[in-house]
């Protein structure tokens, strides 16, 4: 039997007296795109932080492709092929758009002093392949014309798209995206939607935290709804859209709703 891409099992995390994540369990099948939604403060980002062990859970286990990754260092988890992006774009200043994308591929480029010997044909070939892939991904999201521009000069939406490209350069087996459409205009959102469809078509499993409901309804196979740290419900987009409890959870947060 193929293992699930991701299993969160009874994850909990409190900050002082506040229970941010409360006994959360869910499973993500390989090759699917799951959207994680819920009102502001529901615990979505904290859940990503627990999965990638940026925060140590108070309780629970995380299985990635059938094996527990609980307690592994975040870099180690990334090295296994579990890649994430952050809610606010993290662009490397002093680097071009293309160089920012290439940073994502570092786990595939040979390490050590030998790798510096760019005159070795094998290293040159590899670099050429990786660069070609970065350029193809930048093209896919409309950033190719800016590949030589300093990444910090890109508009915020473009920086967020670049972060997704950089994450994909790591050739992840599971990709966690935290609000990739936040701050994107309509055409950038359309680029993102196209990119997510392409990612899914390539068999990469994705979990995306997102407030943009039309994007979520368009790309998600399944939706997990978090409210006040716990799983409120889960299901296919058509069912979630009609679920009164979901609508009420969002209304409950008042003007904060997106």
Binding site for ligand ATP (CB under 6 A): 15, 18, 20, 38, 40-46, 87
Shortest distance, position 231 Cβ to ligand ATP, whole Å: 13
Q: Could you tell which of Mg ion, ligand ATP, none binds residue 89, using a CB distance below 5 to 8 A set by kind? A: none
Q: What does the binding site for Mg ion look like in residue numbers (CB under 5 A)?
A: 44-45
Q: Could you tell which of Mg ion, ligand ATP, none binds residue 18, using a CB distance below 5 to 8 A set by kind? A: ligand ATP
Q: Rank residues 40 and 202 by Cβ distance to ligand ATP and give the closer one.
A: 40
Could you tell me if 43 and 226 are in contact, meaning their C-beta atoms sit under 8 angstroms apart?
yes
> Distance between CA atoms of 258 and 214, rounded to whole angstroms?
11
Q: Rank residues 151 and 208 by Cβ distance to ligand ATP and give the closer one.
A: 208
Shortest distance, position 175 Cβ to ligand ATP, whole Å: 17
Q: Rank residues 149 and 182 by Cβ distance to ligand ATP and give the closer one.
A: 182
Q: How far is CA 214 from the centre of its chain?
A: 18
Shortest distance, position 22 Cβ to ligand ATP, whole Å: 10
Let me know if 125 is exposed, middle or buried by CB neighbors in 10 A (0-12, 13-18, 19+): exposed
Helix (H) or strand (E) holding 142: none
Q: Rank residues 37 and 246 by Cβ distance to Mg ion and give the closer one.
A: 37
* DSSP states of 182-237: TT--HHHHHHHHHHHHHHHHTT-EEEEE---HHHHHHH-SEEEEEETTEEEEEE-H
> Distance between CA atoms of 252 and 19, rounded to whole angstroms?
18
Q: Could you tell which of Mg ion, ligand ATP, none binds residue 189, using a CB distance below 5 to 8 A set by kind? A: none
Shortest distance, position 41 Cβ to Mg ion, whole Å: 8
**What's the sign of the alpha-carbon dihedral 151, 152, 153, 157?**
positive
Q: Rank residues 19 and 103 by Cβ distance to ligand ATP and give the closer one.
A: 19
> Distance between CA atoms of 56 and 222, rounded to whole angstroms?
27
Shortest distance, position 214 Cβ to ligand ATP, whole Å: 17
């Amino acid at each position: 039997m193929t293992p699930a891409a991701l299993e969160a099992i009874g994850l909990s995390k409190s900050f002082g007296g506040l229970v941010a994540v409360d006994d959360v369990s869910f499973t993500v099948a390989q090759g699917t795109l799951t959207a994680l939604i819920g009102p502001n403060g529901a615990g979505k980002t904290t859940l990503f932080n627990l999965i990638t062990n940026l925060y140590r859970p108070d309780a629970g286990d995380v299985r990635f492709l059938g094996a527990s990754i609980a307690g592994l260092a975040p870099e180690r988890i990334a090295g296994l092929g579990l890649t994430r992006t952050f809610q606010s774009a993290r662009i490397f200043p002093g680097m071009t758009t293309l160089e920012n994308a290439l940073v994502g591929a570092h786990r595939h480029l040979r390490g050590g002093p030998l790798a510096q010997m760019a005159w070795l044909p094998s290293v040159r070939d590899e670099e050429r392949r990786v660069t070609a892939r970065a350029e193809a991904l930048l093209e896919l999201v409309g950033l190719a014309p800016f590949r030589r521009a300093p990444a910090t000069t890109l508009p915020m939406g473009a920086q967020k798209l670049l972060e997704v490209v950089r994450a994909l350069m790591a050739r992840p087996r599971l990709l966690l995206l935290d609000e990739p459409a936040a701050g994107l205009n309509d055409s950038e959102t359309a680029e993102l939607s196209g990119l997510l469809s392409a990612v899914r078509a390539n068999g990469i499993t994705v979990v995306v935290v997102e407030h943009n409901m039309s994007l979520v309804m368009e790309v998600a196979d399944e939706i997990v709804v978090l409210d006040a740290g716990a799983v409120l419900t889960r299901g296919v987009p058509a069912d979630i859209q009609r679920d009164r409890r979901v609508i009420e959870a969002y209304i409950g947060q008042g003007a904060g709703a997106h």
